[in-house]
Amino acid sequence: MRAVLPLLLLAACAAPTPARAQEPGRFDYYLLALSWSPEYCASRNGARDKLQCVERQYGFVTHGLWPQFEKGYPSRCPTSQSVSRATVAGMLDIMPSPALVRHEWTAHGACSGLTPSDYYATVRRFYSVIRIPREFQQPTAPVLIEPAALKKRFLEANPALAPASLAVVCSGRNLREVRVCFTREGKPRPCGRDVRDQCTAEKVLLRPVR
């Protein structure tokens, strides 16, 4: 994204499944990817990004809502539809990059089988289900925490979630994303076998919201 796109494109799941990757509406479940914005804002691109990192400070933002197979995921399904300016503008409070909003439709949203407006309404609906633990909402000092403890905080804040519904992703020792898996209807469910925790450090660092 112009805001989070350079960083977030590194956060894709396993490679798509080529034989089944081009059929809109054919998938098993959704993965909601929540990215830690301060990690992007600490990068060279983020330091110049007024929308996400200067004009307003964010904690967790939406990277995307990805249709998934039990292993792998569909990608870049054929579509003649595009995302309207109104839809883009309506997503910027939780997805603060016009480029990312458009990219996510092309790369993932078209595979949902929904229209762009319905897809982004679904993104918002799933995002609104998740309660961010209070200590991770607007921290003004660095947070250093074990990955398992971070996951526990999310589970405590979201009793409907099970441990298998969450994956914590790091870049080195820095938090990059928390991923949450849902049924197509929006109920929490276990993630597929290729969606797993990706933190190797003993403790993960959440940079403060500036």
**pLDDT beyond 90 at 6:** no
Q: Is 108 part of the annotated catalytic residue set?
A: yes
- pLDDT at site 154: 98
The overall pTM is greater than 0.85: yes
Q: Please give the Cα distance from 78 to 48 (Å, whole number).
A: 34
Give the count of domains, the chain.
1
Structure confidence by residue, pLDDT tens digits, 149-182: 999 999 999 999 999 999 999 999 999 999 999 9
Task: From residue 160, give the alpha-carbon distance in Å to each of 92, 100, 152, 184, 196.
Answer: 27, 29, 13, 16, 19
Distance CA 164, CA 21 (A): 25
Mean pLDDT, all residues of the chain: 90
Q: Identify the active-site residue in 104, 135, 146, 202.
A: 104
The residue annotated as part of the active site, out of 39, 63, 103, 177, is 63
- Write out pLDDT tens, residues 62-96: 999 999 999 999 999 999 999 999 999 999 999 99
Q: Look up the CATH number of the domain holding residue 66.
A: 3.90.730.10
| pLDDT-based confidence at residue 56 (cuts at 50, 70, 90) | confident
Residue 104 designated active-site: yes
Contact 80, 145 (CB under 8 A): no
- pLDDT, residue 61, reads 96
Joined together, the tokens standing for residue 51 give 């929308």
Q: 34: closest CA among 173, 164, 133, 145? A: 133
Catalytic residue of the set 23, 70, 103, 108 = 108
Helix (H, G, I), strand (E, B) or coil at 9: helix
201 lies in which domain range? 5-206
d(CA 42, CA 210): 10
Q: Which residue has the tokens 């480029």?
A: 99
